[in-house]
Amino acid sequence: MKDVFEYTSYRQYIADFYAERKVKSAFTWREFAKLAAFSSSVHLKYVSEGRFNLGEESVNRVAKAMGLAGTRLEYFRAMVEFDHAGTDNVKKEILDRMLSIAKQSNARVIEEDSFRYFESWKNPVLRELAPSMPGAKPLALARACRPKVSAAEVSESLNFLIRANLLSKDEKGNYVQTDKSVTTGPLEVAPLVVRGMHRQMGEIALDAIEGVPQDERHFSGVTLGITQGAYDEIVAEIDAFRRRIIEIATRDSETDEVYRLNVQFFPMSNKKGFKKR
C-alpha cells in the first residue's frame, strides 16, 4: 500500500487500507471497526464514503488500527483536520503543516508540487514568459511581468518550476516547457488551490480595467435569468469553449505576450429554497 504521506484525504487512505487488507485476507469492515473500538460495524465504511466524519477522540484509535505511529500518526491527524476545516485560510495552514510533517520524515507529499504551482500567479505566468524570452535574466523577466514583481521573486519561482519539472533548460541555458499545459489533476486539494488562484487572478483583472489600454484587453458580460437546465448547458458550452481556446493558444510554438483568460459565471440572486407558486 502507498505511504500515508502520498495522501491528502484521510477518507481515501482508510478506503485503500481496507481494500489492501481485504485482498490479502478475509478482512471485513466489522473487523476493522472492532480493531478501532467502534460498536457500529459500518462506521468506518461510512467515514470512507464521506457520510460520517471521524471524531477527534477516535482518530488515534483508527490510526493505531492501521499501524500508524510517530510522524505518520501526526500526518494522519492533520489530514483529518484538513478535511474538516471550514475555511480556505485554515485549510492552507493545515496543508502547510502536513507538508512540514512529511519533510521531517524525508517524505514528499505526492501533490505538493501541484499545490505550490497553483499557490501563486507568478508560477503559471513565468512558466509561459520565461521560454518566450531566451537568455533573459530574472531582472528582465521581472520587468516584463504584470503586476510588478522583484527579480528575487522571479528567481524563486523559476527555481521551483525547474525543481518541479515544469520547466527545464536546453543546451543553451534557455527555459523550455516540459509540457504545453498544466492542470490540477486529481488533487484532493484542488478546490483549495484553484479558489486561491481565482482570487489572485480576479484581483489582477480588476487592476487591468484601469491599468491596461482598452485595445490590449477584452472585458464583456451579460446578466441572464436562467433555469437549472440552462445553467448545466451553459457550463458545458463554457468547458467546450475553454478547450477550444487552449487548442488555439497551443497551436503556435512561439509566444508574443502572456495573457490570462478568466471565465466567470455566477449567481446574482439567491432564490434557492423558495418554492415556485
Q: What is the pLDDT of residue 112?
A: 67
Average pLDDT, the chain: 88
- Written as nine digits, the cell of 121 is 500567479
Which of helix, strand or coil describes residue 170?
coil
Q: What is the pLDDT of residue 60?
A: 94
Q: Dihedral (C-alpha) 203, 209, 213, 219: value to the nearest 10 degrees? A: 100
Neighbour-count burial of 95, counting CB atoms closer than 10 A to its CB (0-12 exposed, 13-18 middle, 19+ buried): buried
Q: What is the pLDDT of residue 258?
A: 94
pLDDT band at 96 (very low <50, low <70, confident <90, very high): confident
Q: Residue 24 and residue 273: Cα distance in Å, rounded?
A: 48
Q: What is the pLDDT of residue 103?
A: 82
Please say if the pLDDT value at position 205 is more than 50: yes
Q: Which of 155-164, 174-183, 198-207 has the lowest mean pLDDT?
A: 174-183
Q: Which of 87-96, 127-136, 168-177, 237-246 has the lowest mean pLDDT?
A: 87-96
Q: Which of 100-104, 147-151, 232-236 has the lowest mean pLDDT?
A: 100-104
Residue with grid cell 505538493, as numbered in its chain: 112
List Cα–Cα distances, 143 to 161, 162, 211, 227, in angstroms: 19, 21, 15, 46
Q: What is the pLDDT of residue 199?
A: 86
Please say if the pLDDT value at position 117 is more than 50: yes
Residues 212-267 have pLDDT tens digits of 999 999 999 999 999 999 999 999 999 999 889 988 988 888 889 999 999 889 89
Q: What is the pLDDT of residue 186?
A: 46
Q: Indicate the DSSP class of residue 166.
A: S
Q: Residue 137 and residue 271: Cα distance in Å, rounded?
A: 53
Mean pLDDT to the nearest integer, 9-37? 93
Q: Residue 94 and residue 85: Cα distance in Å, rounded?
A: 9
Which has the higher per-residue pLDDT, 261 or 191? 261
pLDDT band at 190 (very low <50, low <70, confident <90, very high): low
Is the CB of residue 240 less than 8 Å from the CB of residue 261? no
Mean pLDDT to the nearest integer, 16-22? 94
Q: Which of 49-63, 112-126, 158-172, 223-237 has the lowest mean pLDDT?
A: 112-126
Backbone angles phi, psi at 175, to 5 degrees: -80, 140
Q: What is the pLDDT of residue 108?
A: 64
